[in-house]
Structure 1
Amino acid sequence: RASGAVILSLVAVLDGQIVGHILFSPVTVRDGDQQWTAVGLGPMAVLPAFQNQGVGSALIRHALDHLQKAGLEVVFVLGHPQYYPRFGFKPSKPYGIEWEVNVPEDVFMVLELRENALAGKRGIVQYHPLFNGV
């Protein structure tokens, strides 16, 4: 946390056992000599014995609500294209926004926590340097 690489970290606890975790970190979106900041979701993990029971969904919903109430506007995720859209995530490329790493278009997604938060914004997303090479 002291590195500034964590914006939000939550755990799911069941009967005193941590069964899931989600982390959000700051990202920078660069467009030429301009830049703006947003949030990146990941990693998220749920113990195998507790998967497909709503733990991950609950973590995501609770975290997104917290981020929205904190005034954050845009969240990016690199993730499964059949999972994250249920939370409102959409491919980022149609918005003119891509990740700095070449990945299939449908796996890098964005969510506006405030309506029209992406209006007039575009660029290349860079995660916090501590995530380089992960």
Structure 2
Amino acid sequence: MENKIPYQVTIRQEVPGDYNDVYKLNVTAFGRNDEAELVEALRKNHSIFVPELSIVATENNQIIGHILFTKIQIKDADGNLNESLGLAPMAVRPELQKKGIGGQMIKKGFEVAKRLGFKSIIVLGHENYYPKFGFQSADKWKILAPFQVPSNVFMAIELVVDGLKNISGTVIYPKEFETV
């Protein structure tokens, strides 16, 4: 169970002046450069990067969390492509994890994505964490990962009623994800 945040956290859109701190945050949170490099690469792909969906959490004007949602495709058996969003990566300073900061960023992301007209989000993540926000196994919609992964960690959520109705197939992640 996440604890209430005992201090003031601001959740807002990332701006270019945040890029350096977001890079450092991802390295600190993941203990390696891969996710930080992924964020940098995804930002440069203007066909999938949505600036409003790169969200930071700040405390006293310091970046303490970051979440990124980028456009992905779901390719059905007939080769038709349906747009969705992929949630990845999400990082919170290690000493501030389990305090609800990630949850606040996820909820803000849902709100912004809905406002921008997106209908669904796909995530590859912890099976005990993401369901708290409404994610369910993507199997429910016959949506598959493009690689072998347990079905309980490959999840989807409809942002609007029937957001994934009549959509099935395999997720196509942007090429930038192949580097992680």
TM-score, structure 1 normalization: 0.95
Unmatched segments (≥5 aa) in structure 2 = 1-42
Moved over 6 A (4+): none
For residue 6 of structure 1, the aligned residue among 46, 49, 65 is 49
SS at match of 1:111: strand
Q: Which residue of 2 aligns with 1:26?
A: 71
For residue 65 of structure 1, the aligned residue among 95, 100, 111 is 111
Q: Deviations for 1:81-102, whole angstroms, at most 9, x for unmatched residues? A: 1100111100001211111011
Backbone CA RMSD of aligned residues: 1.0
Q: Deviations for 1:75-133, whole angstroms, at most 9, x for unmatched residues? A: 00000011001111000012111110110000000000010111111000011111113
Amino acid paired to 2:45: S
SS at match of 1:132: helix
Q: Which residue of 2 aligns with 1:114?
A: 160
Q: Which residue of 1 aligns with 2:128?
A: 82
SS at match of 1:60: helix
Greater relative contact order (Cα < 8 A, sep 6+):
1
More strand by percentage:
1
Name which of structure 1's ranges 14-23 and 28-37 shifts more when overlaid on structure 2.
28-37
Name the CA distance, whole Å, in 2 between partners of 1:19 and 1:82.
22
SS at match of 1:110: strand
More helix by percentage:
2
Amino acid paired to 2:49: V
Q: Deviations for 1:44-95, whole angstroms, at most 9, x for unmatched residues? A: 0000111111111111111111111111101000000110011110000121
- Residue 105 (structure 1) aligned with residue 146 (structure 2): no
TM-score, structure 2 normalization: 0.72
